[in-house]
Structure 1
């Protein structure tokens, strides 16, 4: 595969080994690969275009703008819009990641859906608004519930998974069958990450790298991040204000200047936490590049 630009389109749903696939494609294609992590942490400038896509108004030119700096794309939201992207890039090779649909349901429900539910609820939603991060959470929620035309429930990913295993398995299987019916067989690889380099390199007509196939499992990272966000949100939304109120009452503070100083300190601490979170997200994004 010698073509330049965007050449590989991932149509597999999230939690099907897409982070490992992203890492593998970066090695093979010697360039960056679009992923949900790109939307959340790396390219906030793309948010307006994704909102346009959610509204069904993205043009071929919009897709080329989003993917201009990338050799490929995997995971959602790319996989949710694979038909539109394939229209913009008709020569792209399409990879359909699959896995056991029951295990897939458990993985989605216990990782990304659970984490988003925490981030979108009080107190995390308030804290993220305080530090200017809630717009990304809101966009991810919208992207996570885009209802595909083949949805058996008329619902998107998170809502369908939340209804239960039966509905989720049917959603997964319908997506797989639709991709197979839409993409020409010669341009499609149906693949599990446990198969490793062989089928992937053969499909892309590339030599097998002299390195082990990447094995990136971020389940524990997602859960640890969820718990950390919950703790720090309780601290800043409830704990610190309650402590300030209690101390003010106990010490009978009445001077406005004192309260202004306390407020300034609170805002400074929020700014410090925001800078720490920005640094962590940047580091996390770079570690997956």
Structure 2
């Protein structure tokens, strides 16, 4: 039987391998929270400092334990990127390698998180994200996904490999999977696809199979909606409205200081309202 408390499962699978569904399933059978990139993005901004430290290779074991003290396990980046470090911090934890067809994985990354990140790193989205206080978060996601894993023969990070095309991305996939198989003792490793459902996962963790259906979470549509929301909001707030106000001032000959102040005040009042509404819209982002 898996331990009743503590961090007991290290997800070593790459993002876009059904990790949202896996997270939902593990929350049920491990009876606790599961770390995921969604935690970094939407739930624990207070952890950002730690992941920046981990990227530099400067995080110590006590800091790892402190950050993950409220979690029973983790999947997706950043957990899977640091699975070897976590094996040292939690030597009794088991390792789950979520997999799928590597070409479909490449297409999923390219059309979801990579597409989103490219939009977020482009102007005027960069200005808009700074305005609503989300620029640092998206930069951290980019940093975590752009660092080259030590196993990568091309020395490209996930985003770099995807940008280079299918061949490079699939090679990174195989490098990662082969390294996990090499590094993790067979008795502590489960290689598993979400479509296999509860059976192998519950047997691996020595827990009862739940009576409820295995959760199926597909966040691709929501991710694309969020991407479009930020893109449209950026062009509206940073480009179109300021241009309209400048044209209005010119056309109506509103050149006095009073008129300019009124227009500026109206613009910044609109900004405040729009920022509040957009933050609410993105509060579940990730």
- Residue 238 of structure 2 corresponds to 237
- Residue 27 of structure 1 corresponds to 28
Trace 1:194-209 onto structure 2 (pairs within 5 A): 194-209=195-210
- Residue 263 of structure 1 corresponds to 264
- Residue 182 of structure 2 corresponds to 181
The Cα shift of 1:284 comes to 5.1
The Cα shift of 1:269 comes to 2.4
- Looking at structure 2, the residues matched to 64 and 125 of structure 1 have their Cα atoms a distance apart, in angstroms, of 33
- Looking at structure 1, the residues matched to 100 and 142 of structure 2 have their Cα atoms a distance apart, in angstroms, of 24
- Residue 148 of structure 1 corresponds to 149
Q: Any unmatched runs of 5+ in structure 2?
A: none
In the alignment, is the contact (CA less than 8 A) between 1:116 and 1:137 conserved in 2?
Answer: yes
C-alpha distance 91-117 of structure 1, shift in aligned 2 (>3 A): same
Moved more, 41-50 or 263-272: 263-272
In the alignment, is the contact (CA less than 8 A) between 1:131 and 1:270 conserved in 2?
Answer: no
- Residue 165 of structure 1 corresponds to 166
- Looking at structure 2, the residues matched to 234 and 266 of structure 1 have their Cα atoms a distance apart, in angstroms, of 14
- Looking at structure 1, the residues matched to 243 and 95 of structure 2 have their Cα atoms a distance apart, in angstroms, of 54
The Cα shift of 1:119 comes to 0.6
- Looking at structure 1, the residues matched to 40 and 266 of structure 2 have their Cα atoms a distance apart, in angstroms, of 32
Trace 1:240-255 onto structure 2 (pairs within 5 A): 240-255=241-256
- Residue 88 of structure 2 corresponds to 87
TM-score of the pair, normalised by structure 1: 0.95
SS of the residue 2:240 aligns to: helix
Q: Any unmatched runs of 5+ in structure 1?
A: none
In the alignment, is the contact (CA less than 8 A) between 1:6 and 1:70 conserved in 2?
Answer: yes
Runs of 4+ in 1 over 4 A off after TM superposition: none
- Residue 280 of structure 2 corresponds to 279
- Looking at structure 1, the residues matched to 66 and 257 of structure 2 have their Cα atoms a distance apart, in angstroms, of 51
Trace 1:129-144 onto structure 2 (pairs within 5 A): 129-144=130-145
- Looking at structure 2, the residues matched to 253 and 220 of structure 1 have their Cα atoms a distance apart, in angstroms, of 45
TM-score of the pair, normalised by structure 2: 0.96
Moved more, 182-191 or 275-284: 275-284
The Cα shift of 1:128 comes to 0.8
Q: CA RMSD in A?
A: 1.3
- Looking at structure 2, the residues matched to 35 and 261 of structure 1 have their Cα atoms a distance apart, in angstroms, of 46
- Looking at structure 2, the residues matched to 193 and 222 of structure 1 have their Cα atoms a distance apart, in angstroms, of 20
TM-superposition CA deviations, 1:176-207 (whole Å, max 9, x none)? 11111111111111000000000000001011
Q: Alignment length, in residue pairs?
A: 285
TM-superposition CA deviations, 1:38-72 (whole Å, max 9, x none)? 11111111111110011111111121122111111
SS of the residue 2:282 aligns to: helix
SS of the residue 2:255 aligns to: coil
